[in-house]
Amino acid sequence: MNQASSFQRSASRILVLAGILSVPIGLFTLAYPPSVDSNIWGYPFPQDTHIVVSILLVIAHLLKAYGFIGLTRLDGGSRITRWSFTVAVIGFVILAVCEGISAKLVGVPMDSPEAVNLNNGYGLGSMLQAIPSMIGGVVIVRKRLFDGFGRWSVFLSGAFMVFVVTPALIMGRAWPSYLALTIWSLFYIWIGVVFVRAVKRGNEERLSG
């Protein structure tokens, strides 16, 4: 196994780990009884819990960024996949930075300038990872770089963020948005699994060739 395929295998597994970490956070948020007013940043958590959740989300987003670096080197990819997934990496890093800031911002009103600016940062990061995922995902679908229906995983992860998660968040921080984010996290387990299979297939083809 060459160095590139070794990195891709690591990146694919990291994506699975990112999803596995993110899903329980979403379920925990859904089940947590609100302990602060919904107009306060950090809702529904008290300060200490919010800080822990924010730190875990920093880690989850950075893991996704690492995984998408692997996708920039996807066998059979093109300039479009390299550039689009590189931009997606930047989007995940911005989301991680926002989560770090969020940990320090807990307790301020949602309509404060700090909270508004941070929400704008979340929006920027979300679109920078979602739209490029759709663009690169189209290439994966057309070139059949992943097997079976899994070839749609990257495209659908971006589309789900744009057309489901974002409207749910605009409606407010309530159970629909938390449920949407939890489902969105499942896509990264799916992407990681089909990416693992693609790396394995590529290694087998190189050995047989």
pLDDT tens across the length of the chain (209 residues): 556 678 999 999 999 999 999 999 999 999 999 999 989 999 999 999 999 999 999 999 999 999 999 999 998 889 999 999 999 999 999 999 999 999 999 889 999 999 999 999 999 999 999 999 999 999 999 999 999 999 999 999 999 999 999 999 998 878 899 999 999 999 999 999 999 999 988 766 655 65
Query: What's the confidence (pLDDT) of residue 4?
Result: 65
Cα separation, 131 vs 209, whole angstroms: 36
Cα separation, 149 vs 197, whole angstroms: 13
Cα separation, 108 vs 34, whole angstroms: 16
Both tokens of residue 72? 């920039």
Instruction: Please answer whether residues 135 and 159 qualify as being in contact, where contact means their C-beta atoms are separated by less than 8 angstroms.
Output: no
Query: What's the confidence (pLDDT) of residue 132?
Result: 98
Locus of tokens 């159970």: 175
Short-list 8, 115, 125, CA closest to 61: 125
